[in-house]
Structure 1
Amino acid sequence: MSFIDFGILDAIDILLVAFLLYQLYRLIRGTVAINIFIGVAAIYLIWKLVEALQMELLSEILGKFIGVGVIALVIVFQQEIRKFLLLLGSTNFTHRRRFLRQLKILRDDNEPNIAISEIAEACRHMADSKTGALIVLERKSGLGSYVDTGTRINSQTSAQLLESIFNKHSPLHDGAVIISGEKLLAAGCILPVTEKTSLPSRFGLRHRAAIGIAEKTDALAIVVSEESGSISIAIGDEFINKVTAAELPKHVLDYLRD
């Protein structure tokens, strides 16, 4: 295709592809899947280069890698692909609008603020009583697959509700609570545990699960230690220990506003 033959349909084609790639990036940004996607894209570009240079052996090897990379992407994104197809085929217009908002195609000016004051109050009480807790705050990465492992609650977040869930006599106290905006989505959720071997021995399962979810998504995890009553935060590769209840809102809001 030459520049002389370049028409309006070609421009629309390029814009649509750029738009879809941008939305895909927004969807997976902050998750471990982005590294796999970038790796496959890099191998694809190198493959095209060696193919143009007629390096047949290397081109054949990289071509095999591309095939495996596509399968890996399908496995990594199986939940997102399933959700995309279900919502795309849904006749419910409300579901479609919600899906478009998740892709940032539509802007929702009424997105709720995080219930940080209630969370901070609950953490302060649980720290004083040395009640173990694990609270995960959803950001841009969807946590639907982790929500499905617990008991759905879909209630307004309150300090009293959080304290009752993590009470040692509650059947849900061992798992994590997942919060999105002001909604407490589920309790008793199972999270991935970090594979790091360099963590201090004092870190229990809650701390390792908090670090694990922070590694795999862009979520923020808050841990209240049952042993010491200290509050910790896991964000990406960063783990902030001994955060006071007064400092907690600032740490959370600073991160969620990025």
Structure 2
Amino acid sequence: MQIGFLEIKWTDLLDITLVAFLLYYIYKLVKGSVASRVFMGYLLIYLFYLIVKAIGLELLTRILEYFMGVGAIALIVLFQQEIRRFLLLVGKSTTLSNNQFFNKLLGNKENNEGKYPIKIIVDAAKTMSNEFTGGIIVIQKEDDLSKFAESGDIVDAILSKKLLVSLFSQYSLLSDGAVLITNGRIKAAHCILPIASNEDLPSSYGFRHRAALGISEATDAAAICISEENGKITLAIDGNIKTISSSELERELRQYLLKEF
């Protein structure tokens, strides 16, 4: 296709589309964090570099080329969390364990029901919500949470609604921090989680919400946060957090952990 003095091939259109798609998803990953401002600044400098190179300013072009080379290394350091999230999303979308057809073929549904006792967890979250008991419940999916479990106290107990609620009681020494659930068991309590750096969170979201969001950004775990101020339930998955009802919580967990739609 000829437009004026430009000759555009179908490969050029494909190239532009893929680059736009990639830039959109990179921005979506870093949106709301400090890294988003760094990304926009670097992108503006790169556009300035292309303009300078097209004009033919050799000295400024050389300076910007050296800056872009060093900046690329700096970006890897600054965006290590976002890069990890991106690779995690790619890995989760391609792994056979997340493929519904292979799960049915291999008969994994029954094992997953025991691995993720969603009904017990939702009932405990509902009770805590009604009693305005604050807490964070983290459900392990594929990523290893051992380093987070080691930051707290190992429990390794059979999961039950009463035990889960009692761990967050105001009289419990393990009420602060998060409870980690692995393979249908309470692995640890009083665990320290990474804090999200997202600056666009609503003011109603406190320290617990940031911790729940932080673990969902760092791993593929699902984090349930119950507010002791208003009893509201929030769910953090894949770096996204939202306030939901108990019925919505069960549906969301079944979709994410059991692939039920």
**Short-chain TM bin:** 0.5 to 0.7
Aligned pair partner of 1:226 in 228, 237, 242: 228
> Would you say how many aligned residue pairs link Structure 1 and Structure 2?
173
Report the Cα distance in structure 2 between the residues aligned to 1:183 and 1:226, rounded to whole angstroms.
24
Report the Cα distance in structure 2 between the residues aligned to 1:222 and 1:196, rounded to whole angstroms.
18
Aligned pair partner of 1:175 in 174, 177, 191: 177
Aligned pair partner of 1:117 in 116, 119, 122: 119
Give matches, 1:106-255, under 5 Å: 110=111, 112-241=114-243, 243-255=244-256
User: Which letter does structure 1 place at the counterpart of 2:197?
Assistant: E
Report the Cα distance in structure 2 between the residues aligned to 1:136 and 1:142, rounded to whole angstroms.
12
Give matches, 1:8-157, under 5 Å: 110=111, 112-157=114-159
User: What is the match of residue 51 of structure 2?
Assistant: none
Query: Unaligned 5+ residue runs, structure 1?
Result: 1-57, 78-101
- Give the structure-1-normalised TM-score: 0.58
How far is 1:62 from its partner? 7.2
Is contact 2:115–2:182 with CA below 8 Å preserved after alignment?
Answer: no
Alpha-carbon displacement from aligned partner over 1:211-246 (angstroms, at most 9, x marks no partner): 1001111111001111000111001132121x2222
User: Which letter does structure 2 place at the counterpart of 1:126?
Assistant: M
Alpha-carbon displacement from aligned partner over 1:88-119 (angstroms, at most 9, x marks no partner): xxxxxxxxxxxxxx9xxxx9965633111111
User: Which letter does structure 2 place at the counterpart of 1:249?
Assistant: E
The share of aligned pairs that are identical, in percent, is: 36
- The 3-state SS of whatever aligns with 1:246 is helix
Report the Cα distance in structure 2 between the residues aligned to 1:216 and 1:120, rounded to whole angstroms.
23
Alpha-carbon displacement from aligned partner over 1:43-74 (angstroms, at most 9, x marks no partner): xxxxxxxxxxxxxxx9xx979x89xx8xxx9x
Alpha-carbon displacement from aligned partner over 1:114-159 (angstroms, at most 9, x marks no partner): 1111111111111111000100010111111101111111111111
Report the Cα distance in structure 2 between the residues aligned to 1:230 and 1:139, rounded to whole angstroms.
24
Which has the larger share of helix? Answer: 2
Query: Unaligned 5+ residue runs, structure 2?
Result: 1-64, 85-96, 98-105
Q: Which runs of structure 1 show a deviation greater than 4 angstroms over 4 or more consecutive aligned residues? A: 107-111
- Give the structure-2-normalised TM-score: 0.57
